[in-house]
Structure formats: C-alpha cells, structure tokens
Structure 1
Amino acid sequence: MSFVSQPRSNISIQLDDVGLLERMTTFALSTIPCCLFLFINGTILFTLRSKSVFRDTCRYILLFNLLLADTAQLAICQVLFLLSVCRITLTYPVCGMLTGCASITSVTSPLTLMVMSLERCVAVCFPLRHAMIVTIKNTRLAIVAVWTSSSLHNIFRVILLLDFPFKDLDSLQMTNLCNEFNMLLGSRSKVYDNAFTGFLFASAAIVVISSYVGVIIAARSASTGKASALKARNTLMLHLVQLCLSLSSTIYNTLLVAIMKIIQSVGFMRLNKFLYVLIILFPRCLSSLIYGLRDQTIRPILLGHLGCHQKLKTVAVSG
C-alpha cells in the first residue's frame, strides 16, 4: 500500500506545484501590463487637468470622462480577476459592491463614446453653430446624464437582486467566484441584463454610425473643410472600433457559459484567462494608446510627464 500511495502523493504534489506556478504566471502576466496602463492612464488624466487648454475644451473634458471610466473599470476588473485566479470567494454584499461599480463604469464608456461621436459630427456638419451647441455647460450636463443613466441602470439591477431569497441561505458567503454573471440571481435579472445590453449596443452603434455617415456626407460638400472632415471621419472610425471592443465585454459571461459546456475544467480555466486579457484587459488599454499618443496636443505633454523628454535631454547632453 505504501508503494502505491507514494507515487500518487508525488503526482498530487507535482500537480499542485504546476497549478501554483500557473497561477503565479497568470498573476504576473496580467498584473504587470495592467499596472503599466493604469500608470499611463493616470498620467493622461493628470495631463488633462494640468493645462487650461484641456480643462476648457469640450472634447478633452469628454476624453477625461472616458479615461476615468476605463481606468476605474480596469482596476476593478483586475481585482476581480486576481480574486478568481487565487480562488478567493467573497460575500454577496462585497461582491455586489464590486460588480456594481464595474457595471456603472462599463455602461459609462459606451455612453461617453456616443457623446464624443455626436460632438465630432456637430463640429463637421454644423461648424458655425458648434461653439453655440457644444459648450462647457452642455458638456458637463451630458457627463452628468451619462453617469446618472449608468447609476440608474445599476440601481434597477440591485432592485431585481433584492427579490432573491437571501434569508433562505445558510450564509451570505458565496460558493462561487465573484463576477457579474454569478450576481445575476433570478431569471428577471438575467432577462433585464440581456435586454439592456442589446439596447445599449444597438443605440451606441446607431449613434456612432449615423455620425460617421453624416461626416462623410459633409466631407463631400464644398463648404466643409476636407482636412477637418477627414480627421473627424478617422476619429469616428476609431470610436466605432473602440465601441465594439468596449461592448465586447458584455458578451464575456455569455461566451464563458457556452464554452463551459464544451471544454473541460482545466482547459476552460486557461481559456478564461486568455479571454480575460483579450476581451476585458486589452480594450480598456486602448483609450490611452488611441488618444494619448495620437493627439498632437496631448502627446508632447504626456511624454514630458512620463519623463521621456528629460531622458532624451540627458542622453543628448552626455553624448
């Protein structure tokens, strides 16, 4: 018996070591780029508040709101992911608070992209009335409306969640890992979440595509600056791509459920980590790359805050 049990114990120890090594690797490969982009996003947010040209320009105010939502969601999603990697379960109230914050920011991003698309459309299609329509006051009101809509959506989710008979549970400790899918308790919550996701995706797509078509039509007009229209068209195309990537996170849970029925547990856990990086982490990192490096006004100030200019000066002096 001892000769049989000894190899089995060795195998179990090796499997535990492999599992620990894999979790540590996953932890490092997801946390390092996440921290890097959180630092870059934080630097861009500081940059957008450091100059009056950014604080007093409507499109930079909207950009600040977009980056703020993406940064908050990136941080929350990374916390939830690391909890799942470490297989740590939470109580329903704590998990509900984390997923609620993630839900608010996930809705805020596409709504802000809709407002940014409309702002670019007005700038090209109605250049003479742009200053009257897109004012600092109206921009701030639009941002308040965006966050209010996101908050109302989350409040409605909480109301549906309260219908679940928590009193029948032995404990508020969750048996499953904390994520938005496991917090959809009850059929009505799932139906509402699917309906809202579909409505949000359709509305955002219609607004961005309509703005894109409007800019193309205006570009063909002799009264519209060709260079300005071309730049706005490229910006709206980036908005559309970013919108698709941003809303791809809404199908994350549904995709996992479908994959779970096909792939075994070990393969599923590994695929889940890959999909997290591809669908959740990667789109949240695009905002800083698209806007921080593409914008000619932000880029030199951003590089200066990151210390790149100082390093270049040091290299030049030493050379």
Structure 2
Amino acid sequence: MNPRYILYIHLVINDIILLTILTLIQLLSYIVLTLNVSLCILLVLLGMAANFNNPMTLAVMALECYIAVCYPLRHSQICTVKKTYIAIVFIWLISAIYLVPDLFVAWASEPLEFFRSHVVCRRANVLRLPYVREKDKVFDAVLLAIVWLTLFYAYVRIIFTAKAAAKDARKARNTVLLHSFQLLLSMLTYVYYAMFYGLLALFPNRARDIRYAITIFINIMPRLVSPLVYGLRDNSFRKYLKHHMFCIKPVQS
C-alpha cells in the first residue's frame, strides 16, 4: 500500500520482462538461429516497451521523493495508491502510443508472406520501414530530455527546500542521484550499434559472440542495480531480507 514500493516493484517487473525476453532471444538464436517474424515482432515490441518504461518510472519515483521532502504534510494526499496506479497505466500508455503504430504500419506495408517467414530476431529485421529510425531519434531525445529535467528539478528543489542536515533530505538527494546513475546505465543501449560495429571491425568472424557480450554489458548488468540499490539500502527491505535469509524475525514498528 506504499506508493514508493509500488513504483519500485513496477521498475523490477519491467526489468524482469526485459531480461526474460533478452534471454529467450539469445537462447533461441543459438538453438534455432532464426525466429518466425510474427513472434519476433511480439517479443521485440514487449521488450522495447519494458525498456522505455524504466526512465519514465525513474522520473515518477524522483517526483515522489521530491514531494515527500518538500511537501511532507501533503505527501499522503498527493501520492496515493490510486494515483500511483494511474501513473503506471499512463507510462504503459505512452509506450503503446509509441510502439503500436509501428505494428499497424508494418501490417499495412509488408506482404503477408513476410510475417510467415523466419529471420534473425532483431528489430531492424522485422520493422524495416525507413521512418522508424528517425522516429526513434525524436522520441528518445524528447523522453530523455523530460526525464533528465525532472530528475534535475527534483534534486535542486530538495537541496534548496530541505535542511542539509536532515536525514530524510540527505537520503532523498542520494536517491535522486541514484535515479540519475541508473538512467545513465539505461542510456548505454543507445551506444549498442556503435560498440557492435566497432568490435565487429576488429573481430569480423565473431558477430554472435560480440552481440552476446554487448547484451550482457549493456542490457543485463544495469538491471542488477535496481534490487541492489533500492532493496538493500531500504530499511524495510533489509529488515525482511535478514528475516528470510538468516531467520531473524523483523521487529514490528
């Protein structure tokens, strides 16, 4: 019933969806090499939606920290469970508005035989329309600009509104900084192709191994940050973690 934990769980669920799809695609690429185009499109769109949801969730979590520190008396009224779920629905709606049109345009422009064929499962192979890359650049630039401005605004307001010595203020500032760090890690996906083609020029016969290594470094490693950062540094999570791992009964507050 805590909005902060609901947003954290939503962040982890998106990471689980993305990691599951990435792992499935990697395994299938080694086993069957190619996938049915229709199945590949479904996996790609779902994975991209989960990937896009994370920056927006980080922005909402930063705003929640800002409200908790700068407007503590109104926090329970502004950050309710219902409004948190509305924010999550709105996040998924933005991702759907961005991705679903690509599916309909592909259906309208590609021959029916294409959706029955098999390809190496990558977005460029199943969504081949030339406008997609340009649309991605515009959407990514707008999304990241809004998220970075939100994080910067929340951090600055926390600094100037709360007392520097206050424990809650220091924790909130550190949390927003961690949001920024995680966003930087998420932005590694934008250098995927630069790294891939750079390494491919050095090792032309190791394309699959290069793709696997870059996927681990860019897509999987940053997802380990959420449980470690938001879980272990939270008092409630630590309390129940000790209970389940070391059989230490949590103290009820």
Q: TM-score, normalised on structure 2?
A: 0.88
Select which of 85, 89, 102 maps to 2:34. Answer: 89
Aligned equivalents of 2:141 and 2:199: distance in 1?
21
Alignment-derived partner of residue 47 in structure 1? none
Measure, in 2, the Cα distance between the counterparts of 1:299 and 1:204. 29
Question: How many residues get paired?
Answer: 249
* Aligned-partner Cα distance in 2 for 1:106–1:264: 29
Alignment counterpart, residue 64 of structure 1, candidates 3, 6, 9 = 9
One-letter amino acid of the structure 2 residue matched with residue 283 of structure 1: P
Pick closer, same or farther for the CA change 1:71–1:303 going to 2, 3 Å.
farther
Q: How does 1:130-141 map to 2 (within 5 A)?
A: 130-141=75-86
**Do the aligned residues in 2 keep the contact of 1:197 with 1:250 (CA within 8 Å)?**
no
CA-based RMSD: 2.3
Match of 2:127 in 1: 184
Letter in 2 for 1:146: I
8 Å CA contact retained: 1:160, 1:189: no
* Cα distance in 2 between the residues matched to 1:172 and 1:89: 12
SS at match of 2:125: coil
* Residues 251-272 of structure 1, C-alpha deviations (whole Å, 9 max, x = no match): 4245434554x33432443332
Larger Rg: 1
Mapped partners of 2:155, 2:99: distance in 1: 30
Residues 148-157 or 229-238, more deviating = 148-157
Q: Deviations over 1:228-273 (max 9, x none)?
A: 111000000111111121232244245434554x334324433322
Which of 112, 118, 130 pairs up with 1:174? 118
Amino acid at match of 2:181: V
Does residue 204 in structure 1 map to residue 147 in structure 2?
yes
CA gap 1:151/1:230 in 2 versus in 1, 3 angstroms: same
Confirm or deny: 8 A CA contact 1:89 1:173 kept in the other structure. no
Q: Label 1:193 to 1:183 Cα distance change in 2 as closer, same or farther (>3 A).
A: farther
Q: Deviation string for 1:104-154 (max 9, x for gaps)?
A: 111111111110011101111222222221112211111111112122222
Question: Does the CA contact (< 8 Å) of 1:160 and 1:188 recur in 2?
Answer: no
Give me the identity figure in percent: 31
Question: For the residues of structure 2 that align with 1:253 and 1:156, how far apart are their CA atoms?
Answer: 24
Shift of 1:87: 5.4
Q: Is the 8 A contact 2:63 2:154 kept in 1?
A: yes
SS at match of 1:265: coil
Asked whether the equivalents of residues 181 and 253 of structure 1 are also in contact (C-alpha less than 8 Å), the reply is no
**TM-aligned CA deviation for residue 155 of structure 1:** 0.8
Change beyond 3 A, Cα 1:255–1:195: farther
Structure 1 residue 66: deviation in Å?
0.9
Alpha-carbon contact 1:164-1:185 (below 8 Å) kept: no
Contact 2:196 2:210 survives alignment (8 Å): no
Check the 8 A contact 1:58/1:136 in 2, yes or no. Answer: yes
CA distance in 2, matches of 1:263, 1:174: 29
Q: In the alignment, is residue 103 of structure 1 matched against residue 20 of structure 2?
A: no
Are the counterparts in 2 of residues 62 and 116 from structure 1 also a CA contact under 8 Å? Answer: yes
Match of 1:304 among 226, 230, 243: 243
The answer to whether the aligner puts 1:252 opposite 2:180 as a matched pair is no
Which residue of 1 is the match for residue 176 of structure 2? 236
Alignment of 1:287-298 (within 5 A): 287-298=226-237
Kindly indicate whether the alpha-carbon contact (under 8 Å) linking 2:68 and 2:75 is maintained by their aligned counterparts in 1.
yes
For structure 2, which runs of at least 5 residues remain unmatched after alignment?
A: none
